Structure 1
Amino acid sequence: MPREYRATGINLKGMPLGENDRLLTILTKEHGLIKAVAAGARKHRSAMAGRSGLFVVNDLQIGIGRSMDRIKNAEMLQSFVGLGKTLARLTAAQYLSELALMQALSAQPQEELFLLLVEHLTRIQNAENHHVLAHLVHGTYHLLAIAGFAPQVYSCCINQSAVIPNRENPKWKAGFSIVGGGVINLENPPLSDGNPNGDRAYQLAEIGSEAMQNRISHYLTARELLAIQELTQADLTDNILESHVTDWLAVERLLRAYAQYHFDRPIQSSALIDNCFFNI
């Protein structure tokens, strides 16, 4: 039985261990989520000090121990030093890493999750200051997507009718149901079982009913819905990137609530979101 293994991984958490060591939580492509000791990482001028930092990608040689695995060698492949230059970038990176940790599995390959996280951390690091929030929200949506939780944003989660934002009408809104898993079309509400003929007045009355209202957890303006619909794309267009920060904050809060519901735990890093981005 092999006593060691190799992996490419990114450090997502670290904590002191003993006097000089550090215990790392690492997302690897080949073995999923692992914990390993970086011996001597807290010693002055230790070669492991930089390689054991957060958001550092290493080529690792890891020895299997009785109680804990130990890093025998680490070669740095990528370092996201730019993430620490502003509180907004660091908060966004911690936010995405939390989401990755919530869904990462141990003892099986997690290449798709690894590559997706590294890609979105790269975008956040390289983004202009006023685009960081948009890239955070984009990364959040895609992490939800590979977890199998992506919300339905183009069609109504109740009756599957197309939901098309009307930017010409400042009062236009769509609903969103966290429990239902996506947007709700308020212009074409679902038929009631007690109204098979589809009387329009009756349908509108149904929208105001307690049953329907209980399904709606959020309301979206046309601009907010347009932004959330664009999150499904691999890249954000320049036009969407320039959406107002208040629109992105609204979408972030919605996806935060949605993620916390489906993962059944809070996103601790989200506490700083408003402070980081509200005045940008």
Structure 2
Amino acid sequence: MKYYRDEGIVVGGHKLGEADRIVVVLTRNHGLVRAVAKGVRRTKSRFGSRLEPFMYVDLQCHVGRSLDVVTQVELLEPFAKGLGSDYDAYSAASVMAETATRLTEDEPHTRAQYLMLLSALRSLCNREHPPRLSLDAYLLRAMAIAGWAPSLVDCAQCGAPGPHPAFSPALGGAVCSACRPQGAALPSSETVLHMAALLSGDWERARAAALHTMTEASRLITVYVQWHLERRVRSFAVLD
């Protein structure tokens, strides 16, 4: 029988039968893994609580025909415990987990996304930054890793030097007047600078932004992510 061992973050799952559960784990070396955790919903399960969403675990799986089977789990960091006591942090983590799943489900090389999610969840647990700022920074960086970094200065369409007044998620970010499509957003220059600070990790500038600037940036980032993922991220609803 073939086994493999890896560390990963539980990003989702759903019930299977009366006592089992299919867990979805973003791993360091094996990409996005879907595996059956047998008996995990029973009260006396050996590792039920270790496979809750946001748990950082070391797991061993048996390779199955259609789905792998979890045979052993060791807890590395209980992110779920630290996030469960703060609704805003838990909501942000939910969006992160779903976005990471969407970005990696068809990708063979996912280590960079795994490390980005691990860092973001740890930051949320440690309350290093306000949850929504941490989420927006994660979303911009995760999209950049996936090859969809927004242009925040030069025109995303023709490359004309910026800054430019309009922002189009469909075209890749900032656009000049000549390339601006109908209905493009017209964010303030402060909003674009705030997004650039989040993307680059300039937390001093990001935290100093006005509330309306942060709010406008969050709306743009949400639309940008969902446009390029070509699907609705359902967990965004918990932020409204």
> Partners in 2 of 1:36 and 1:153 — Cα distance?
40
Could you tell me how far 1:125 is from its partner in structure 2? 2.1
Equivalent residue for 1:242? 208
Q: Any conservation in 2 of the 1:93–1:121 contact (CA below 8 Å)? A: yes
1:221 maps to 2:188: yes
Which AA in structure 1 matches 2:237?
A
1:182 maps to 2:148: no
Equivalent residue for 1:57? 56
Q: TM-score, normalised by structure 1?
A: 0.78
- Structure 1 residues 59 and 65, CA, compared in 2 at 3 Å: closer, same or farther? same
Which AA in structure 2 matches 1:252?
S
| RMSD of aligned residue pairs (Cα, Å) | 2.1
1:123 maps to 2:123: yes
What are the equivalent positions in structure 2 for 1:8-157 lying under 5 Å apart? 8-80=7-79, 81-105=81-105, 108-127=108-127, 131-157=130-156
1:270 maps to 2:236: yes
> Partners in 1 of 2:228 and 2:107 — Cα distance?
23
Q: Describe the superposition over 1:82-130 as per-residue Cα deviations: whole angstroms up to 9, x where unpaired.
A: 111122111111111111111114683421111101101112222267x
Equivalent residue for 1:231? 198
Q: Describe the superposition over 1:199-235 as per-residue Cα deviations: whole angstroms up to 9, x where unpaired.
A: xxxxxxxxxxxx8452x521111221110111221x2
Q: Any conservation in 1 of the 2:194–2:214 contact (CA below 8 Å)? A: yes
Q: Any conservation in 2 of the 1:29–1:109 contact (CA below 8 Å)? A: no
> Partners in 2 of 1:259 and 1:252 — Cα distance?
11
Q: Secondary structure at the match of 2:165?
A: strand
Aligned residue pairs, count? 239
Q: Any conservation in 1 of the 2:168–2:180 contact (CA below 8 Å)? A: no
**Unaligned regions of 5+ residues in structure 2, if any?**
none
> Partners in 1 of 2:202 and 2:90 — Cα distance?
21
Q: Secondary structure at the match of 1:232?
A: helix
Which AA in structure 2 matches 1:253?
R
1:256 maps to 2:222: yes
**Unaligned regions of 5+ residues in structure 1, if any?**
165-172, 191-210, 275-280
Q: Any conservation in 1 of the 2:20–2:39 contact (CA below 8 Å)? A: yes
1:160 maps to 2:147: no
Q: TM-score, normalised by structure 2?
A: 0.91
- Structure 1 residues 213 and 32, CA, compared in 2 at 3 Å: closer, same or farther? closer
> Partners in 2 of 1:106 and 1:225 — Cα distance?
31
Could you tell me how far 1:244 is from its partner in structure 2? 2.6
Which AA in structure 2 matches 1:99?
T
**Max Rg structure:** 1
- Structure 1 residues 106 and 59, CA, compared in 2 at 3 Å: closer, same or farther? farther
> Partners in 1 of 2:39 and 2:54 — Cα distance?
19
Q: Any conservation in 2 of the 1:12–1:97 contact (CA below 8 Å)? A: yes
Which AA in structure 2 matches 1:11?
V
Which AA in structure 1 matches 2:141?
H
Could you tell me how far 1:249 is from its partner in structure 2? 2.1
Which AA in structure 2 matches 1:217?
A
Q: Secondary structure at the match of 2:231?
A: coil
Which AA in structure 2 matches 1:62?
C
Which AA in structure 1 matches 2:202?
L
Could you tell me how far 1:245 is from its partner in structure 2? 2.9
Q: Any conservation in 2 of the 1:34–1:106 contact (CA below 8 Å)? A: no
Q: Secondary structure at the match of 2:72?
A: strand
Equivalent residue for 1:167? none
